[in-house]
């Protein structure tokens, strides 16, 4: 998303008032001055940001270099430095400094502590780089024709960037160049401090998912399809053209806990055609298995992308579940953003048996390409398993509280919290009495079970049944 400076952003408000403001003489003069003032304020804020950022960079890098000088001197003497050519602000070339620590012997630990990167303090002190900014690109990476690169070269490259923070918590769904553009357009001193803070959490979650394991990863016996967000959307779209209907499930730490205790739910998940990894718990499980989960393919982030793909291919959707009125509000949300997407019905999820049968008939009459089922886990997965043939849908997705978010009934965690892997904290704060067990006890149990299951040679029991994980 590229934000415009204030003077270019779209005007809103009463249309008559807007016309009066635009065409009356006083209105025109007033508007001219307002525009000039806005532009000056915008330029002023950019100058302030640049100066303040450079000042902070210089002070922080000088202090850190002073504080770490014995370690830095030792590393320099023992390992020496390597120089890598990089393209900096306004296309100016410079050499990025790094301690030449090899990834073997004691060097392994030093690299794990990122000590090889500390030499970059020199680049920051010299003004080639900054603590926060887009990744420093090599000349081969840079193509001036690419608009993303142009954005990236407007600022100093950084040690930590927004893309890296998101990548580490598996939510960098957009291309790096888009996230760089977003950073450049919205940067501020407070924003940079926020990124610096979030990067501490990102660093703790472990390496970004580069050691990609495709195919299926077993987490507590549940076979997770290790797809990236774009691939999951493509796979669902492909399945809308298949004759046999497909069942799609999202699995987070809470689902894994439930499946551990509930054999029917476990079997249902194992019978899913597509099981996608949801939440930071899955990322951590993947890290512990040394098989990186590629992305956090949760239903809420997948939904708008799926709507976009469905609109492009002229597919239809039916929403089932949530409190009365909630699915209808999500229909309005879809209609406003994806006007060509065919919405063939909406039905709330609080019905008796007879009403449920009628709802099933309505869905079957509509025969949607995609059926969204939001009844909560494990009910929705079991419902899909039992009724998918009767619904006439090509693909059915069990999505939990998704409709509550898109209807606005429950606000979703802000992006900065998701960038720290704290979406669950936000949900817990919203409904502590309902969710304390799920998150406080559940998350601990998930990790505990995971560790026990690993130490027991990756076998565990589900209600007396011995199960071997296929890793």
Lookup: tokens for 250: 């999202």
Q: Write down the least CB distance from residue 401 to ligand UDP, Å.
A: 3
**Candidate list 209, 321, 345, 442; residue touching ligand UDP; CB under 6 A:** 321
Q: Name the nearest CA neighbour of 454 among 288, 214, 263, 205.
A: 288
H/E element holding 19? helix 15-23
CB 346 within 8 A of CB 330: yes
**Candidate list 33, 48, 350, 448; residue touching ligand UDP; CB under 6 A:** 350
Based on the shown chain and the rule CB under 6 A, indicate whether residue 181 belongs to the binding site for ligand UDP.
no
Based on the shown chain and the rule CB under 6 A, indicate whether residue 279 belongs to the binding site for ligand UDP.
no
* Rounded Cα–Cα distance for residues 447 and 256 (Å): 11
Based on the shown chain and the rule CB under 6 A, indicate whether residue 322 belongs to the binding site for ligand UDP.
yes
User: Among the candidate windows 11-19, 222-230, 234-242, 395-403, which touches ligand UDP by CB under 6 A?
Assistant: 395-403
Per-residue CA distances from 352 to 238, 248, 295, 349 (Å): 34, 25, 38, 10
**Candidate list 226, 377, 391, 443; residue touching ligand UDP; CB under 6 A:** 377
Q: Write down the least CB distance from residue 165 to ligand UDP, Å.
A: 25
Q: Which residues contact 218 (CB under 8 A, 6 or more apart)?
A: 224, 469, 470, 471
Q: Write down the least CB distance from residue 400 to ligand UDP, Å.
A: 2
Based on the shown chain and the rule CB under 6 A, indicate whether residue 401 belongs to the binding site for ligand UDP.
yes
Q: Which residues contact 38 (CB under 8 A, 6 or more apart)?
A: 5, 6, 7
**25-67 and 69-79 helices, crossing angle to 10°:** 70
Lookup: tokens for 74: 């030792």
Based on the shown chain and the rule CB under 6 A, indicate whether residue 376 belongs to the binding site for ligand UDP.
yes
Based on the shown chain and the rule CB under 6 A, indicate whether residue 248 belongs to the binding site for ligand UDP.
no
Q: Centre a 10 Å sphere on the Cβ of residue 48 and count the other Cβ atoms it contains.
A: 12
Based on the shown chain and the rule CB under 6 A, indicate whether residue 72 belongs to the binding site for ligand UDP.
no
Q: Which is nearer to ligand UDP, 110 or 330 (CB)?
A: 330
Based on the shown chain and the rule CB under 6 A, indicate whether residue 400 belongs to the binding site for ligand UDP.
yes
User: Among the candidate windows 112-120, 175-183, 229-237, 316-324, which touches ligand UDP by CB under 6 A?
Assistant: 316-324
Per-residue CA distances from 202 to 169, 348, 418, 421 (Å): 6, 38, 11, 8
**Candidate list 101, 371, 403, 469; residue touching ligand UDP; CB under 6 A:** 403
93-99/459-462 β-pairing: unpaired
Q: Which residues contact 289 (CB under 8 A, 6 or more apart)?
A: 217, 219, 454, 471
Q: Which is nearer to ligand UDP, 206 or 376 (CB)?
A: 376
Q: Which is nearer to ligand UDP, 134 or 322 (CB)?
A: 322
Q: Write down the least CB distance from residue 35 to ligand UDP, Å.
A: 46
Q: Which is nearer to ligand UDP, 88 or 401 (CB)?
A: 401
Based on the shown chain and the rule CB under 6 A, indicate whether residue 382 belongs to the binding site for ligand UDP.
no
Q: Given the rule CB under 6 A, which residues bind ligand UDP?
A: 321-323, 349-350, 374-377, 400-401, 403-404
């Amino acid at each position: 998303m590229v934000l415009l400076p204030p003077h270019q952003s779209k005007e809103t408000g009463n249309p008559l008032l807007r016309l009066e403001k635009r065409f009356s003489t006083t209105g025109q003069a007033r508007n001219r001055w307002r525009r000039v003032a806005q532009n000056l304020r915008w330029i002023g804020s950019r100058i302030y940001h640049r100066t303040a950022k450079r000042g902070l960079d210089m002070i922080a890098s000088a202090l850190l270099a002073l504080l770490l000088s014995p370690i830095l001197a030792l590393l320099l003497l023992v390992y020496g430095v390597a120089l890598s050519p990089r393209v900096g602000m306004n296309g100016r070339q410079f050499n990025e400094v790094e301690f030449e620590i090899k990834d073997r012997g004691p060097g392994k630990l030093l690299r794990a502590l990122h000590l090889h990167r500390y030499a970059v303090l020199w680049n920051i002190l010299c003004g080639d780089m900054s603590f926060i900014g887009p990744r420093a690109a090599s000349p081969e990476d840079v193509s001036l024709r690419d608009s993303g690169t142009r954005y990236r070269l407007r600022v100093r490259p950084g040690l930590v960037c927004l893309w890296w923070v998101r990548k580490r918590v598996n939510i960098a769904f957009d291309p790096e160049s888009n996230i760089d553009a977003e950073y450049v357009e919205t940067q501020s001193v407070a924003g940079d401090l926020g990124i610096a803070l979030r990067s501490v959490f990102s660093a703790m979650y472990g390496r970004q998912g580069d050691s990609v394991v495709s195919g299926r990863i077993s987490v507590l016996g549940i076979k997770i399809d290790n797809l990236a967000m774009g691939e999951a959307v493509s796979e669902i779209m492909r399945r809308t053209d298949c004759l046999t209907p497909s069942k799609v499930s999202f699995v987070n730490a809470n689902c894994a806990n439930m499946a551990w205790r509930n054999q029917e739910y476990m079997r249902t998940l194992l019978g899913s055609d597509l099981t996608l990894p949801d939440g930071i718990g899955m990322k951590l499980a993947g890290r512990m298995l040394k098989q990186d989960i590629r992305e956090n393919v949760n239903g809420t982030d997948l939904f708008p992308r799926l709507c976009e793909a469905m609109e492009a291919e002229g597919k239809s959707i039916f929403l089932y579940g949530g409190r009365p009125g909630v699915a209808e509000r999500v229909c309005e949300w879809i209609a406003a953003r994806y006007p060509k997407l065919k919405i063939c019905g909406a039905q709330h999820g609080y019905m008796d048996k007879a009403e449920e049968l009628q709802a099933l008939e309505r869905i079957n009459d509509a025969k949607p390409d995609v059926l969204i089922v939001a009844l909560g886990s494990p009910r929705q997965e079991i419902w899909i398993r039992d009724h998918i043939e009767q619904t006439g849908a090509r693909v059915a997705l069990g999505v939990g509280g998704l409709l509550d978010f898109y209807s606005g009934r429950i606000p979703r965690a802000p992006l900065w919290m998701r960038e720290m892997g704290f979406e669950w904290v936000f949900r817990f704060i919203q409904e502590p009495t309902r969710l304390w067990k799920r998150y406080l006890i559940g998350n601990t149990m998930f990790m505990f079970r995971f560790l026990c299951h690993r130490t027991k040679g990756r076998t565990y029991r589900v209600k007396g049944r011995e199960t071997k994980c296929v890793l």
